[in-house]
Chain A
Amino acid sequence: MSAMKIQRKALVTLKEGAYKWLFATLAFASLVFLVGIVFTLLTESLPVFSKIRPTSFLFGPFWYPTADPPEMGIWPLITASFAVTAGAMVVCVPIGVGTALFIHELAGRRQRAFLKPVIEILAGIPSIVYGFFGMVVVAPILQDLLGIPTGLCAFTASLVLGIMATPTVASLAEDALSFVPRSFREASLALGANRWQTLTRVVMPAAGSGISTAVILGMGRAVGETMTVLMVAGGAAMVPKSLFDPVRPMTSTIAAEMGEAVMGSLHYNALFAIGLMLFLITLGVNIIAEIISRRFRLKLGLGR
């Protein structure tokens, strides 16, 4: 009798233990992947630095990876990524946040019912379609309109990327706005504030951390986007002097060259090193995002 009880108890303990393990494993799976990715990036990219000094890799002005001898400076690629991302932010932040504000504050029920799905569809379009659209439609139009030698340039890439990142920003910012309790709005209006004052002085600051997260995730989308920039940025590995120069961001460099680089060659390792740079940049962006939202939370007094 009591032996059976003990047995049953042991079984329960075992079961609980098993569940605990199962979920712990699942929870740690992403960590495992992260570690694996970092490990791979490091082991595959470090050999580059035995041949090329890190400073000349980072700040070298020329990228001729297959020339003899190869020149592997990724400064043009880094500046290209920054230029294109910054440009994309100039496009997607106002449009995205503006859209969110419009949907949330001004749009009637019908406009909202129309706009929200439009944004979701925009978000669901594969990036290669944006790339194709950018290359075949936007680039020639800008080329004629602005009288530039080629439409495949940082400007076009920024524009297309910006439009691509807009839904991310818009829908996340809209979420952030809808998390602002109605009571804040009511309090403000009851004090005699008009809609605009309520929006700019109460709602937006309260949604601030959410909106900045939206912006940063939009930025993440822009930095990491590959296919589109590969098709519309022009691909010239040169530090851009103007917005209308063709550029070659880091992602498209990896995408264009990885397939052809000889496994284990210096070029192959260099591409991994670019990947490592991208990883570090996104890591930095995420840390900044975290700091910002933590500050906001502190300011809001919502624990730390």
Chain B
Amino acid sequence: MAPETKICAQHIDFFYGRTRALKDISLDIYANRVTALIGPSGCGKSTFIRLINRMNDLIPGTRVEGKIIMDGLDINHPRTDVVDLRRRVGMVFQKPNPFPKSIYENMSYGLRINGMKDRNFIEQRVVSALKKAALYDDVKDRLHESALMLSGGQQQRLCIARCLVVEPEVILFDEPCASLDPISTRKIEELILELKKDYTIVIVTHNMQQAARVSDYTAFMYMGELVEYDLTEKIFTVPKERMTEEYLSGKFG
């Protein structure tokens, strides 16, 4: 029962000006699975996941080679509709970044920018996304208060809920728990496990236990290269590469 491939990266090279940040990366990301990216700081994890929703477009002077295909869509093709792509591929950042608006406005933003006007529809979507993100009970009585009044963990769950509203297929997490306490982290992890039923998830993390707990597949990167990619169990128990083993046992990093 091999899982279905959702995203297929083929021979990706990426340059920040002259610096080559990714070197010939090929990997498949499977639908309804959690794929973790691990590796020492600066190895290109963020660079890689930001290619999936083309956030690197915003950085002047960058260049990508190779192909990323998602359900047959060539992501890097110049005619690809970036707005639609970003709707299909949501992203949650390292630091919770709710807008300085009310909780409700944060939630409805993704729908409104896409021209949605039907109030009932918006409300329905907002409520259901908040429920999915396990935040509804926390905030149902103060939807119109500023999102910045929430705790860090709640803010991060709001950010997750905010991308759920537009019903993406893939969610990219770039170190989502880096600024959170253990309890909030635990909640986010539970949430990720819950979400994988409906979404394809890619998560960058520096926390090995976290990768072990939440992910089905793990990719270990080093200096812009993909060193090893396999089922998480295998990576953590019987890594093929010595470098992976050394990294996991904390010999370097």
Contacts and interface: CB of A to CB of B under 8 A. Distances in A.
Given A187-B93, A191-B90, A206 B113 contact: no
B100 A189 contact: no
Given A183-B97, A186-B93, A206-B100, A191 B113 contact: yes
B110 interface: yes
Contacts of A205: 100-101
Interface in A209-266: none
Nearest to B112: A201
B219 interface: no
Given A192-B114, A192-B166, A299-B146, A187 B97 contact: yes
Contact of A192 (B83, B147, B159): B83
B99 A192 contact: no
Interface residues on A, range: 20 to 34
B83 A194 contact: yes
Contacts of B147: 301
B91 A190 contact: yes
Given A193-B113, A197-B113, A188 B148 contact: no
Interface residues on B, range: 20 to 34
A22 interface: no
B127 to A, nearest CB: 18
Nearest to B85: A192
Nearest to A297: B100
Contacts of B101: 205
Contacts of B60: 109
19 contacts: A109-B60, A183-B97, A188-B99, A188-B109, A189-B55, A191-B86, A191-B90, A191-B110, A191-B113, A192-B84, A192-B86, A192-B113, A194-B113, A197-B113, A201-B113, A202-B109, A206-B99, A299-B100, A299-B146
5 nearest CB pairs, A to B: A301-B148, A301-B146, A183-B97, A192-B87, A300-B100
Interface of B: 53, 55, 58, 60, 83-84, 86-87, 90-91, 93, 95, 97-101, 109-110, 112-114, 145-149, 159, 162-163, 166
